[in-house]
Structure 1
Amino acid sequence: MDILSELLSLLKPRSYITAGFDAGGHWALTLDDLAGRIKCYAVMSGECWLTMDGIGDAIKVSAGDCFVLPSGRSVHISSDLQTKPIPASEVLDPNRSGEVVTYNGGGDVLLVGSRFEIDGCYAEFMLKDLPPIIRVDTSSDKAKLRLYLDLMMAELKEMKPGAISVAQNLSHMILAQALRLHLQTANEREVGWFAALLDPRIGKAMEAMHSEPSRSWSLKALADKVGMSRSSFAAHFRRRVGETPMSYLTRWRMVCAAERLSLGREAIAQIATSLGYASEHAFNTAFKRVMGMPPRQYGRRRQQVSLT
């Protein structure tokens, strides 16, 4: 399985709402319901602005743009940069799935998209390296994403039997395609595992660790895998990913372990061995350091959550 597919599989995004937003005049909203969620929207017509406190310049999105909000931080969306935003939760029904909501008269900008609930147990580890706002151009050769968006908009407008189910399935396809397109066009100066997949050598090393997490990888073995010297590989990996190869490998192993612990089907010793640890004690130490609690406690907590 490729790394992007693994990300979506582990996060288990569940489409919570799929809706349209038709706004007019001067307006500004703060999307204040993003904690533990990913939002993915597309501008079907018109234009608006995205801003986030403490994060760079305002971003203008126009018809043909798609944007993903994966960080959980509040984002302001507005018709202009002068109008003071109010919380979106004060004016939008959180259970409006399937509706096209008209706000402030409508007619100037039309958005369509979904809010995804995600598994919070290791979402921070998987999403922390993604940009807080991902903007994707859906025009020109981005035909698949545009097709999915048009189909979703048609489902929401026509509301034929099964429309909400179809729209939610389309929303998953839109999210995956938007992240894929961002991966193809990400800035080479971005730091983090997601952007590093663009680097042929670093991406190859990461794919190797993901495909064989139980292997006793050494810095030299990974460097040899991609045809680099050990020192050059270590420096290049840290510059692109933001951490050392061994730190990344440990973090990925713990994410895999967390998923298996949450299912409660395997003994800890079995998980430890399958992920390359010589002893359960060594695995327990690594897990607690990365995840903040012992694996047994983590497994019990996750299983209790799944029962509620």
Structure 2
Amino acid sequence: MDRLSAVLDRFRVQASLFHTGLMCGNHTFEAMPGRAFMHVLRRGEMEVRHLPGEAEVSSLRLAEPTVLLYPRPLHHVFVNPPREGSDFTCATLDFDGGERNPIVQSLPSVIRVPLDAVDGLRPALDLLFAEADHVRCGSRLLASRLFEVVLIQLLRWILDHPAKAGVASGLIMGLSDPRLAKSLVALHQAPHEEWPLERMAAIAGMSRSAFAATFKTATGTTPASYLTDWRLTLATSMMRTRRPVKMIAAELGFAGTASLSKAFRQRMGVSPREWLAESGA
């Protein structure tokens, strides 16, 4: 079962290579709205520091080839040896929907994974490094696309090892449960359809009560609330393209524009029109 494609089709991510090579001394990466990072430590040892209280850990010590994923804006500092430095290849990530992206919402503030822990990651990284290290026609663009491939491979690993990645609840935890994943994938693919609890539970092969309890434990919310949040998150993504709200409401299974606007205001605190004005979409 493909647990990721329906989400990534709706909420795309774009990577942009910005550094490859040695880093010596201290390097600060500021928290900027809408900016995520992926860093790949290829060689060397170094320390990563976070501002107190902003991440699950205040510092990390890296001593082996490692991928670091910052899915949302977070101030972090690389502390490298002053002379020999550490060898990095780095990219910024732009998740569609920003911090409302359902994948971003379900991930911890920083994920640290040794490269050898992810099966099949090395071949993609070899291609990425080959393009990043040599200036050829289209090399930067190709390296950026390969970063997106690496991200998908990393997300696959996180789905299979949520505890090791530090995932506690949310979409990723729900998709990690083989039973819940069946219902979630079906819901993601057809948000416009009716999704009573009985239907979700039947797809998962569970009783209503067992499904509801397991769903709440995994995702941190009820099936009905999750469905509403999923539809509204899709709505914000569609509104950025200036699609008419009436059309969006019909495509996402709302009774009409008024129904969408009411749910939107309850969740977001503003109307769709006000949200568009505030977001600058």
TM-score, with structure 1 as normaliser: 0.78
Q: One-letter code of the match for 1:17?
A: L
Bigger-Rg structure (1/2): 1
Do the aligned partners of residues 213 and 156 (structure 1) sit closer, same or farther apart at CA in structure 2, a change above 3 Å counting?
A: closer
Equivalence for 2:143? 167
Partner of 2:247: 270
Counterpart pick for 1:130 among 107, 116, 128 = 107
Counterparts of 1:225-240 in structure 2, within 5 Å, are 225-240=203-218
CA contact 1:11–1:123 (8 Å) conserved in 2: no
Contact 2:48–2:77, Cα closer than 8 Å, also in 1: yes
**What is residue 224 of structure 2 aligned with on the other side?**
246
> Cα offset for 1:63?
3.2
Q: Percent identity of the aligned residues?
A: 28
Give CA deviations for 1:42-100 in whole Å, capped at 9, x if unaligned: 11111223343322364333333212110212123324xxxxxxxxxxxxxxxxxxxxx
1:62 counterpart residue number: 63
In the alignment, the residues of structure 1 paired with residue 248 and residue 23 of structure 2 have an alpha-carbon distance, to the nearest angstrom, of 51
Question: What is aligned with 1:14?
Answer: 14
**Pairwise CA distance, 1:34:** 4.5
2:240 is paired with a residue of what secondary structure? helix
Larger displacement relative to structure 2 (217-226 or 293-302): 293-302
Query: What CA distance in whole angstroms lies between the structure 2 residues aligned with 1:281 and 1:141?
Result: 47
Is 1:71–1:130's contact at 8 Å kept on the other side of the alignment?
no
**Mind listing any 5+ residue stretches in structure 1 that lack a counterpart?**
80-102
Distance of 2:193 and 2:267 partners within structure 1? 19
- Match of residue 156 from structure 2: 180
Q: Does residue 1:148 correspond to 2:130, yes or no?
A: no
Using the TM superposition, give the Cα deviation of residue 6 of structure 1 relative to its aligned residue in structure 2, in angstroms: 4.2
Alignment coverage as a number of residue pairs: 275
Does the 8 A contact of 1:22 with 1:110 survive in 2? Answer: yes
1:180 partner letter? R
State the superposition RMSD in angstroms. Answer: 2.7
Aligned with 1:214 (options 192, 196, 221): 192
Indicate conservation of the 8 Å contact 2:48/2:60, yes or no: yes
Is residue 290 from structure 1 mapped to residue 235 from structure 2 by the alignment? Answer: no
TM-score (norm 2): 0.85
For each residue in 1:202-249, what CA deviation from the matched residue of structure 2 results, as whole angstroms up to 9, or x when unmatched?
Answer: 212211211221222112221222122222221211111011111111
**How far is the alpha carbon of 1:286 from its aligned partner?**
0.7
Report the Cα distance in structure 1 between the residues aligned to 2:277 and 2:30, rounded to whole angstroms.
Answer: 31
Question: CA offset at residue 289 of structure 1?
Answer: 2.0
Kindly indicate whether the alpha-carbon contact (under 8 Å) linking 2:38 and 2:69 is maintained by their aligned counterparts in 1. yes
Partner of 2:43: 45
Structure 1 residue 29: deviation in Å?
3.6
Q: Secondary structure at the match of 2:253?
A: coil
Residues 188-212 of structure 1, C-alpha deviation per residue, up to 9 Å, x if partnerless?
8721111221111121221121122
* Structure 1 residue 296, shift from structure 2 partner: 3.7
Alignment gaps of 5+ in structure 2: none
